[in-house]
Structure 1
Amino acid sequence: MNIHKLITDIEKVDPEVYERLDSRRSAVSQFAKIGGKLALAAVPLALGGMFKKAYGQGNSTIVGVLNFALTLEYLEAEFYTRGAAAPALVPVGTPAVGAINTIRDHENQHVNFLKTAISSLGGTAVAKPTFDFTARGTFPTVFTNYDVFLAVAQTFEDTGVRAYKGQAGALISNNDVLTAALQIHSVEARHASHIRQMRQARNTGISIKPWITGKDTGGIGSNVQASYDGEEITTQAGVNILSFVSASAASESFDEPLSRSAVETIVAPFIV
């Protein structure tokens, strides 16, 4: 186990973790005190102690939410890992190569972070499902046609942003876990925006903004409509903001949450 790499991965997902642990040096020193033949056996206990200090005790609801998030991160991590490795998919020698590789690495970091957090809160991480990224034949060229790949990527990212927002309320009893989840949420939002800008740069004749307008799919079509339904809402906290801005601007201003059941229905075709 590469402890230094693990701590670095945690720091990337939750930059404020050391404010709870005193410092990075403090976190590393906990493991430095573990030596000799007891090291491998003691590491999980020391790691659990560190997370209990940083994030407190978990409960079944929080672990359930984190496992739900982990399934989505498994999906995205494997999608980008396969896409980055697919021959001649991402245009060689373009900034897209670095962008896809960076997103791939972020998603894998999210997987590792969530698995560690679940274990440290006393839970068991769900196993990675087997995925069918064609969605049972809906996107048969997903790893051979770059535009289809980006379209599916956009759908995953937009859905992920709404999924994290939808589960925020279930984490409200643990401020530290909530903060970490929302930090992942913000990374997913940046992914979504960047993928949308990459699609716009393809000059396919479809106008795609860095954010969702109404419940528009950005030209992907009815197969992904469920990921966008409800985004056209213009009332926030009981206030109809059409009094201040246009309907398009009102819908663009907020990401609407998706329920867990809605997300599970959306991703079901991608899971064998």
Structure 2
Amino acid sequence: MDIFKIIDDLQKIDGDAVGRLEHASRRYFMNRVGSTLAAAAAPMAFATIVNKAYGQTAAAVDVLKFALTLEYLEDAFYKEGLKASGLIPDKYKASIAQIGKHESQHVAYLVKAVGAMNLQFDWTYGGKLSDTFSNFKTFITVATALEDTGVRAYKGQAGALMKDPGILKVALQVHSVEARHAAQVRRIFAVENSSPGTKGWITGNASPIALVQAVYNGEENLTQGGVNLKGLAGKSDNAVSEAFDEILTKEQVLAIAGPFIKA
């Protein structure tokens, strides 16, 4: 799926959409991808959409509630980690705090769109984890799984937002922020778990976390846009798979994240 082609196609369908998004134009966003403002651009744009109540269909509301569930989970996770005494090494505190700040912003904006939810979390993952907030290796492992899931989850919902181009545009920008989170925590994971094979991006369906292989299943796909890219220009299968994120469906995501959420 070519994300920016989707955005361009949406502008052809609704030429006024970008103008109504004020600061969320493609040019505005892309001009800041490499700047220190990049991480803040998507949340600010999302606030603009929410405050204007831009064309939400029932499908869009469902997607936003789903996104809010995941953002609540990530927000609560980082808050617990940041308040746990001695958990996060000093060299990572600023980075983890910034990621946590973004998640809090995402929650705040989504709540404005669809209302608050009352969720409780089980950090033992159904009894499978015992030291999530006392062992940094466990903490960063969980962070990696959550962020990798979030990236695929946002992409998986893009199709459901085609009738809400304003929300789709900003959801894909939030997807970009989540991808940067994932890259950062994966790099920290690689250092702290002595896993040099773990890069800032996913290779094939290789899971650095055996407990949640489902997060990575399907990432080995080599067919994009109906074209099999195996052996493209002499590139390895791993290199091709690394170039694309694959989707996770809502059902797949909830099956992965479900043990963290108390009934």
The answer, yes or no, to whether TM exceeds 0.5 is yes
In structure 1, what is the equivalent of residue 13 of structure 2? none
Q: CA deviation at 1:201?
A: 2.6
Q: Which residue of 2 aligns with 1:243?
A: 231
Query: 1:104 is matched with which residue?
Result: 100
Aligned residue for 2:216? 228
Pairing 1:26-45 to 2, within 5 Å after superposition? none
Summarize the alignment of residues 1-272 of structure 1 with structure 2, pairs less than 5 Å apart: 19-20=19-20, 51=49, 54=52, 56-92=54-90, 94=91, 96-118=92-114, 125=115, 127-202=117-192, 204-218=194-208, 220-221=209-210, 223-244=211-232, 245-272=235-262
1:21 and 1:228 map into 2 onto residues whose CA distance is 34
Aligned letter for 2:55? Q
What percentage of aligned pairs have identical amino acids?
Answer: 45
Q: Residues 115-152 of structure 1: CA distance to partner in whole angstroms, max 9, x if unpaired?
A: 1123xxxxxx3513110122012121110110110010
Return 5+ residue gaps in structure 2 as ranges: 1-16, 24-47
Considering only aligned residues, what root-mean-square deviation do their CA atoms show, in Å? 2.2
Q: Distance between the aligned counterparts of 1:208 and 1:183, measured in 2?
A: 25
- Seen in structure 2, the aligned counterparts of structure 1 residues 142 and 22 have a Cα distance that, compared at 3 Å, is closer
Which of 202-211 and 137-146 deviates more? 202-211
Counterpart of 1:227, as a letter, is V
Q: Deviations over 1:73-121 (max 9, x none)?
A: 00000000100111110013x2x00011001100000001111123xxx
> 2:206, 2:104 → 1: CA distance?
29
Paired residues in the alignment total 221
Deviation >3 Å, runs of 4+: 50-55
CA distance in 2, matches of 1:168, 1:226: 20
1:67 and 1:126 in contact (8 A); partners too: no
- Report the CA distance shift for 1:169/1:146 in structure 2 as closer, same or farther (over 3 A): same
Secondary structure, counterpart of 2:147 in structure 1: helix
Indicate the residue corresponding to 1:6 in structure 2. none
Cα deviation code 1:136-183 (max 9, x no counterpart):
121211101101100100000000000000000000111110011111
Mapped partners of 1:21, 1:179: distance in 2: 9
CA contact (8 A) 1:90 1:146 kept: yes
| Counterparts in 2 of 1:116 and 1:246: CA distance versus 1, 3 Å | same
Bigger CA radius of gyration:
1
* Structure 2: distance between partners of 1:112 and 1:180: 15
Report if aligned partners of 2:49, 2:167 keep a CA contact under 8 Å in 1: no
Question: Structure 1: which 5+ residue stretches go unaligned?
Answer: 1-16, 24-49, 119-124
